[in-house]
Structure 1
Amino acid sequence: MRILKYLFLLLFLFLIGMSVFVSTQKGDYDVTRSKVIKNPRITVFNYINDYRNWETFCSWIKNDSSYQFTYPELSMGQGASCSWTSDSSDGNLKTILVKQNESISQKMVSNEETSEMFWTFKDTIGGTKVTWRSKGKLDFKSKVAAFFHGGISSVVGDTYEKSLENLNKTLDYEINTYSIKVNGIVNRPGGFYLKQFLHCKEKDVDRNIKILVSRMEHFFDKNKLNSTGKPFIIYHKYDRANDDIGFSVCMPVRDSINIMPGSDIESGKTASYTSLKTTLIGDYSHTQTAWKKALAYISKNHLERNKSGQIIEVYAVGRNDVKNPSKWVTEIYIPVYPKEDAKLVVDKPIDSLVVATPPTETVAPKK
């Protein structure tokens, strides 16, 4: 009995000593990890700059299925944010400052602990050197947890290393794996839609489309509007010589909708028209490759483009449907005049469309 009392006393003294030791340790931390990602800097930067992509590479998210994310209208660029809940933490992230293709500064709050995160991107042999730095201060509970796991530098450092490795694998496969199929001549039905128009430079097209699609979806949710299909893009102007691209991000609706004057949202309607349909399965960054393949098909088969029509891209399967970019589906419609002996097919969803002449190109990362 006396021995048991001594053991309890020793345990009590140990806990007091450990508490005193831990409480006197510095709560400040500054952890940095780097890795060369085998992709161009613009690709890596754009991927990390969008919070909707973080679920595909952050190790603490991939290892915990209880994470539930909420994304506002703006999920990429300066001012972007996201929030989450899980069995282990609640928190949010916000982008404070962005230098395009160079650096990102963020603020994170997790379980009421605030930290700063910094990303830098530099060209190097074999790809892009990504450096991920985190600064913050731990409360007593977090210092105790870190103490039993080798220290905060070890805990955060290991997490960042695993996440950067996931990022490298994700980009290598998900971004660089795609297929292109020229489906053939179809009759694309017309209909009503709401749109938001924008002019920008060619290098900013992909980024601005993502931003405007999110805004349009937010507009529909806020105003309790129902869309009758997937988002699509109408290209009004593609002037490479003057680097001037004009396009509208659209959402289809059943009937015409009156919009209040002064809004940047407008209503519109397309008529049915004959077009060459081409399907891209993969990340949006390969749309220009799909365009080139479609235009080559038009030339090879002596089709005549209908210049009065506009090229349309439909996001049949997008990032709200599946997180993996390699599984996204974009349908591209280029207006053409039908040949007299051509048999038109009314356009249908991709999984039910059967047409002739289906040359397909598939590209995957080299091992």
Structure 2
Amino acid sequence: MRILKYFFLLLFLFLIGLSVFILTQKGDYDVTRSKVIKNPRVIVFNYINDYRNWETFCTWIKNDNTYNFNYPELTMGKGASCSWVSSGTEGNLKTILVKENESISQKMVNNQETSEFFWKFKDTVGGTKVTWRSKGKLDIKSKVAAFFHGGINSVMGDTFEKSLENLNKTLDYEINTYSVKVNGIVNRPGGFYLKQFLHCKQKDVERNIKVLVSRMEHFFDKNKMSSNGKPFIIYHKYDRTNDDIGFSVCMPVRDSIHIMPGSDIESGKSVSYTTLKTTLVGDYSHTQTAWKKALRYISDNHLERNNSGQIVEVYAVGRKDVKNPSKWVTEIYIPVFPKAAPKAVNRKPLDSLVVATPPTESATPSKNN
């Protein structure tokens, strides 16, 4: 009996000593992990810079299906943010500073606990070296939890390492897996739409389109408006020589809508016209490949471009529909003149007649397409 009392006394003293030891440890932490991602720096930077992509690689999100994210109008670049709630956490992320293709600084609040994220991107052999650093201070509860799991450096470091590995796998497959198919001549119907116009350099087109599409979708949600289809782009000017691209991000509507003067959103209307349709299945970064195949098809089949028509890209399946870039669908419509019907020629009857149609150019899903 006396031995049992001594045992509990020693256990009690041990627990008190352990608690004092844990509580007197510094709560400040500074954790850094790096990994070479097998993709060009601009692709890796743009992917991490957009909060809508974090669900595809962050370990703590992928392992907890109770996360529910809220994305505002701006999700990439300086001032971008997102917020979430789950079964055990509630928080938000905000981008404080961005240096294009070089670094990103962010602030995270998770269950009222504040920390900072710092990202650095550097070209290296085999791809891009990504360095992810986090600084912050633990509260008492987090101190205790971290202690029994090997310390905050081990816990957070392991999470960063797994997330960076997920990022590498995601980009390796999701970005590089795509297919392009030239569908042929189709008639694109006309209709009403709302648009927002922008001029920019070619290197900024993809990023600006993402921003403006998100802004247009937010405009419709905020004003409780219904679209009459998927968002699309009208290219008004594509001057490679002077690096000047002019385009409108559009959302189709059923009827004409009057917009108050002074708004950067305008109304528009298109008419029906003949086009060559090409479909890209995969990330938007492969649109140039799709364009080249479409233009080559026009040349090989002796079609004539109709320069008075509108060159359009329709985002039939986008990131609002599915998270995986490899499953996005972009339809490209290039205006052409319909071929003249051949004149009828009287011929002698034939027992059989075989007509060979020209093959459509296509690409099967491949990383080397």
Q: TM-score, normalised by structure 1?
A: 0.94
8 Å Cα contact 1:183-1:357 kept in structure 2 = no
Match of 2:367 in 1: 365
Tell me which amino acid in the other structure corresponds to 1:360. Answer: S
C-alpha displacement of 1:2 = 4.8
Seq. identity, %: 83
Match of 1:260 in 2: 260
After superposition, what is the alpha-carbon deviation per residue over 1:215-248, rounded to whole angstroms, capped at 9, x for unaligned?
1011101111100100000000000000000000
Measure, in 2, the Cα distance between the counterparts of 1:303 and 1:72: 44
C-alpha displacement of 1:15 = 2.1
Tell me which amino acid in the other structure corresponds to 1:10. Answer: L
8 Å Cα contact 1:183-1:356 kept in structure 2 = no
Match of 2:71 in 1: 71
Note the 1:314-333 alignment, pairs <5 A: 314-333=314-333
| Other structure's SS at 1:217 match | helix
Bigger CA radius of gyration: 2
Match of 1:153 in 2: 153
C-alpha displacement of 1:186 = 0.3
C-alpha displacement of 1:362 = 2.5
| Other structure's SS at 1:292 match | helix
Note the 1:160-309 alignment, pairs <5 A: 160-309=160-309
8 Å Cα contact 1:309-1:335 kept in structure 2 = yes
C-alpha displacement of 1:88 = 2.1
C-alpha displacement of 1:17 = 1.2
| Other structure's SS at 1:177 match | coil
Tell me which amino acid in the other structure corresponds to 1:48. Answer: I
After superposition, what is the alpha-carbon deviation per residue over 1:239-276, rounded to whole angstroms, capped at 9, x for unaligned?
00000000000000000000010000000001011000
Match of 1:57 in 2: 57
8 Å Cα contact 1:182-1:357 kept in structure 2 = no
Match of 2:88 in 1: 88
8 Å Cα contact 2:293-2:361 kept in structure 1 = no
After superposition, what is the alpha-carbon deviation per residue over 1:83-131, rounded to whole angstroms, capped at 9, x for unaligned?
0111121110000000000000000011111001100000011110000
Tell me which amino acid in the other structure corresponds to 2:254. Answer: R
Structure 1: unaligned runs, 5 residues or longer = 343-354
C-alpha displacement of 1:308 = 0.6
Match of 2:110 in 1: 110
C-alpha displacement of 1:309 = 1.0
Q: Does 1:17 align with 2:13?
A: no
Match of 1:349 in 2: none
Measure, in 1, the Cα distance between the counterparts of 2:35 and 2:367: 19
8 Å Cα contact 2:188-2:273 kept in structure 1 = yes
- C-alpha RMSD of the superposition: 1.4
| Other structure's SS at 1:361 match | coil
C-alpha displacement of 1:188 = 0.6
C-alpha displacement of 1:8 = 3.5
8 Å Cα contact 1:233-1:248 kept in structure 2 = yes
| Other structure's SS at 2:179 match | strand
C-alpha displacement of 1:356 = 7.8
Measure, in 1, the Cα distance between the counterparts of 2:206 and 2:83: 24
Measure, in 2, the Cα distance between the counterparts of 1:212 and 1:4: 72
8 Å Cα contact 1:234-1:249 kept in structure 2 = yes
After superposition, what is the alpha-carbon deviation per residue over 1:112-165, rounded to whole angstroms, capped at 9, x for unaligned?
110011000000111100000000000111000000000000000000000000
Structure 2: unaligned runs, 5 residues or longer = 343-356
Measure, in 1, the Cα distance between the counterparts of 2:68 and 2:3: 50
Measure, in 2, the Cα distance between the counterparts of 1:2 and 1:258: 89
| Other structure's SS at 1:97 match | strand
Measure, in 2, the Cα distance between the counterparts of 1:138 and 1:336: 63
Tell me which amino acid in the other structure corresponds to 1:359. Answer: E
CA shift in 2, pair 1:90/1:356, >3 Å: farther
C-alpha displacement of 1:363 = 4.6
| Other structure's SS at 2:155 match | helix
C-alpha displacement of 1:360 = 1.4
Tell me which amino acid in the other structure corresponds to 1:254. Answer: R
| Other structure's SS at 2:98 match | strand
Match of 1:348 in 2: none
Match of 2:42 in 1: 42
8 Å Cα contact 1:173-1:364 kept in structure 2 = no
Measure, in 1, the Cα distance between the counterparts of 2:260 and 2:8: 75
C-alpha displacement of 1:16 = 1.4
After superposition, what is the alpha-carbon deviation per residue over 1:175-230, rounded to whole angstroms, capped at 9, x for unaligned?
00100000010001110000000000000000000000111011101111100100
Measure, in 2, the Cα distance between the counterparts of 1:356 and 1:54: 44
Tell me which amino acid in the other structure corresponds to 1:337. Answer: F
C-alpha displacement of 1:18 = 1.3
C-alpha displacement of 1:310 = 1.9
12-21 or 60-69: bigger deviation: 12-21
Tell me which amino acid in the other structure corresponds to 2:360. Answer: P
Measure, in 2, the Cα distance between the counterparts of 1:183 and 1:357: 10
Q: Does 1:139 align with 2:101?
A: no
Q: TM-score, normalised by structure 2?
A: 0.94
